């Protein structure tokens, strides 16, 4: 079993990010991710950690002056 990274292009064509040689009649499992292909993996991995710091009342108060008045 091997996991490969790929992108679905216009016309529903699958483009693998590396050269792939598949034997005839092999079976595959396809998993669709709801992430744009440009999202860096490090951003996804750090999101929860940074959220602990950023999602606090003290942070909201510190940045309140930058929010537009409604």
- Going from N- to C-terminal start, the domains of the chain cover 6-63
pLDDT at 67: 80
| Separation of alpha carbons 69 and 13, rounded Å | 46
Which residues have a Cβ under 8 Å from the Cβ of 4 and sit 6 or more positions away?
16, 17, 18, 20
pLDDT in tens, 18-48: 888 888 888 888 887 776 667 777 877 888 8
Pair type for strands 13-16 and 6-9: antiparallel
pTM of the model: 0.38
Q: Is 22 within 8 Å of 32 (Cβ atoms)?
A: no
| Separation of alpha carbons 23 and 53, rounded Å | 49
């Amino acid at each position: 079993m091997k996991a490969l990274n790929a992108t679905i292009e216009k016309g529903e064509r699958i483009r693998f990010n590396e050269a792939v040689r598949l034997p005839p009649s092999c079976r595959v499992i396809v998993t669709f991710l709801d992430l744009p292909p440009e999202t860096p993996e490090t951003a996804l991995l750090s999101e929860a950690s940074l959220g602990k710091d950023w999602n606090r009342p003290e942070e909201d108060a510190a940045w309140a002056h930058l929010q537009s008045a409604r």
